[in-house]
Structure 1
Amino acid sequence: MPSNPKLQAYINGKIQPYEDVVLHISDLSIQRGYGVFDFFKVQDGQPVFMKDYLERFNESARLMELQVPLTEKELADTIYQLITINNLPISGIKMILTGGYSGNGYDPAEPNLLIQQLPLLLPAPDIVAQGLKVITHDHVREMPRVKTINYAMGIRLIKQIQKAGASDVLYQKNGVVSEFPRCNFFIVTQDDTIVTPSEDVLLGVTRKNALALAGKNYKTEERTITIAEIATAKEAFLTSTTKRILPIVQVDNVIIGNGKPGAVTMGLLQDLIDLEKKL
């Protein structure tokens, strides 16, 4: 439960207090982990890049053969209602579409749509200044282009990440890297080309914006990145809605560049912050 009992959420046509928003045990999200979701920031009462997130949400639903019960406009109107009611200075909106109340615990039924809003904390300045250590793991997400609610692998690896003194885990298969459980991955090559994996990744909205911003000053590429190439990278960073752009200074036992956040990464972070302020 949220610490603020006054917060309201949406479920199937109704906006009501959090404690009243419930799903029946027969829902496929509970029975089989079947459903999709999306998440975006709200700053000063304004959604950040909401159109892109709504489009991705609808595409995830389509690929999972789930019907979103609201049009994109109705969905946006509902989100604005929540923003007005909850009146949070900075927050996150999460939309969840489940497989519905299944009669046999397997076949999809009419989807349930939930929308919640919670306070959001962005990365602290010291984390940005220090950079992250990450580890790698042999895994590729099923249906990477779909933002499903299945985060079993990432959650299972939390203790392993903590034991290694790391912040996150980068998925790789046969030496080819893809993504983090909740973030996209980038490297900066020695000639300042900014590269991100093209296959087996979720097409992140922050990833899209980072590529567009980077393209104004640097060459960009979407292609295969190998573990071996990371060792030769000048810089590395991750992108996500809540983390924006965070520098990576170590991958497993490999120190990236000089082991400190690089100028290209930090410049892109400031460019993204400036872009968000213009919205």
Structure 2
Amino acid sequence: MSFNHRLYAFLNDEILPQESAYLHVSDLAILRGYGIFDFFKTQEGEPLFLDDYLNRFYGSALIMGLKVPLPEEELKQTIEKLIQMNGLSDSGVKMVLTGGYSENGYDLGEPNLIILQQPLSMPSEAQLATGLKVITHEYVRDLAAAKTINYSMGIKLLQQVKARGSDDVLYHQKGVVSEFPRSNFFLVKQDETVVTPAQEILKGVTRKNVLELAGKKYSVQEGTVTLEDIAQAKEAFMTSTTKRVLPIVQIDGQPIGDGKPGSVTLELLEDLIALENRHLQK
């Protein structure tokens, strides 16, 4: 795709050139960082698992006391029209719902709905072959069950992540692991049981799919995961819309298992890709 490819965005009730889509400075997303979003990808111009993402979007809005201005079916139609106009085959689509224009900078206004689309690239073969190194940080997100626009801690920690030669940061509270800023965490025990945290997390759509796929081949557990559990694990990986399944080989400088991407992790990645392809053929 040419860099000069014109992209369109949806703002409230119209589709317009992306460079013309903007908010007033009184929006609570700008003044207070108040809002939600969700993000899904398209392959061959088709949205993947759209119903799951829309369910989470409306669920996040409910948690945050925001009303989505479009009913779900109308929102679907708007998304489909935007995808057609942008003409991107493999892309990411972001839906944002803000706190709205506030008269006093604190009270909620009428939410603004924004839909953006952008080109998307998936993890490289090198990342899959070598795996990721992560550090840990003691932190729990506010309102973790909602996909809010507040990523302050994750962005603040970027410099520390890079300074320590790592790729991401894993949150925990007193040794109990929750999630990454933009991904869910899984480990594989020595007996090949697949485990993922259940509390203080955003329940990812990819997480859901991987749990279902893993359950067909392995024992799976959703529950408490500790840093000690990771130290004893055979494998570990993260899941997200844009990362699919990415192996984690090191945490805080200590190797996980043999320090290489594990067979269970890579098999689940293959299963997820196959699931995506089947979804496209429906």
Which bracket does the TM-score occupy, shorter chain normalised?
over 0.9
Residue 65 (1) aligns with residue 65 (2): yes
Provide the secondary structure at the position in 1 that maps to 2:100: coil
Query: Residue 158 of structure 2 corresponds to which residue in structure 1?
Result: 158
Counterparts of 2:172 and 2:4, CA distance in 1: 39
Indicate if the aligned counterparts of 1:235 and 1:261 stay in contact, CA closer than 8 A. Answer: yes
For residues 95-124 of structure 1, the C-alpha deviation after alignment (integer angstroms, 9 at most, x for no partner) is: 000000000000001000000000001001
Aligned to 2:167: 167
Distance 1:35 1:3 in 2: 30
Kindly indicate whether the alpha-carbon contact (under 8 Å) linking 1:5 and 1:18 is maintained by their aligned counterparts in 2. no
8 Å contact 1:35–1:149 — kept in the other structure?
yes
Which residue of structure 2 lines up, in the alignment, with residue 203 of structure 1?
203
Superposition TM-score, scaled by structure 2 size: 0.97
- Counterpart for residue 75 of structure 1: 75
Would you say the 8 A contact 1:237–1:248 is kept in 2? yes
Q: Does the 8 A contact of 1:144 with 1:202 survive in 2?
A: yes
Other-structure match for 2:34: 34
Aligned to 1:180: 180
The residue type equivalent to 1:8 in the other structure is: Y
- 8 Å CA contact retained: 1:192, 1:218: yes
Match of 2:165, SS state, is coil
| Matching residue of 1:257 | 257
Letter in 2 for 1:33: G
- Code of the aligned partner of 1:149: I
Does structure 2 retain, via aligned residues, the 8 Å contact 1:5–1:17?
no
1:8-36 Cα distance to aligned partner (Å, 9 max, x none):
00001100001110000000000000000
Question: For 1:88, what is the secondary structure of its paired residue?
Answer: coil
TM-score, structure 1 as length reference: 0.99
- Structure 1 residue identity aligned to 2:190: Q
Amino acid at match of 1:175: G
Once residues 84 and 5 of structure 1 are traced to their aligned partners in structure 2, the CA distance between those partners, rounded to angstroms, is 14
Equivalent residue number for residue 100 of structure 1: 100
Deviation at 1:3, TM superposition (A): 4.2
Q: Quote the sequence identity (%).
A: 59
Instruction: State the Cα deviation string for residues 81-101 of structure 1 (Å, max 9, x = none).
Output: 011001111000000000000
Deviations 1:27-60 (A, max 9, x none): 0000000000000000001100000000000000
Amino acid at match of 2:142: E
Tell me the residue number matched to 1:11. 11
**1:20-59 aligned within 5 A:** 20-59=20-59
Is the 8 Å Cα contact of residues 128 and 246 (structure 1) preserved in structure 2? Answer: yes
1:108-187 pair list within 5 angstroms = 108-187=108-187
Corresponding residue for 1:91? Answer: 91
Shift of 1:265: 0.2
> Deviations for 1:148-193, whole angstroms, at most 9, x for unmatched residues?
0000000000000000110000001101110000000000000000
Determine if the alignment matches structure 1 residue 236 to structure 2 residue 265.
no
Letter of the 1:247 counterpart = P
Question: Is the 1:249–1:255 contact (alpha carbons within 8 Å) kept by the matching residues of 2?
Answer: yes
Distance in 2, matches of 1:93 and 1:47, equals 9
| Structure 1: segments with no counterpart, 5+ residues | none
**2:121 is matched by which residue type in structure 1?**
L
| 5+ residue gaps, structure 2 | none
- Report the CA distance between 1:253 and its aligned residue: 2.0
Q: Equivalents in 1 of 2:131, 2:267: separation in Å?
A: 14
Q: Which segments of structure 1 move beyond 2 Å, counting only runs of 4 or more? A: 2-5
CA distance in 2, matches of 1:115, 1:153: 25
- Taking the aligned partners of 2:234 and 2:19, their CA distance within structure 1 comes to 49
Secondary structure of 1:207's partner? Answer: helix
SS in 2 for 1:10: strand
SS in 2 for 1:104: coil
CA RMSD of aligned residues (A): 0.9
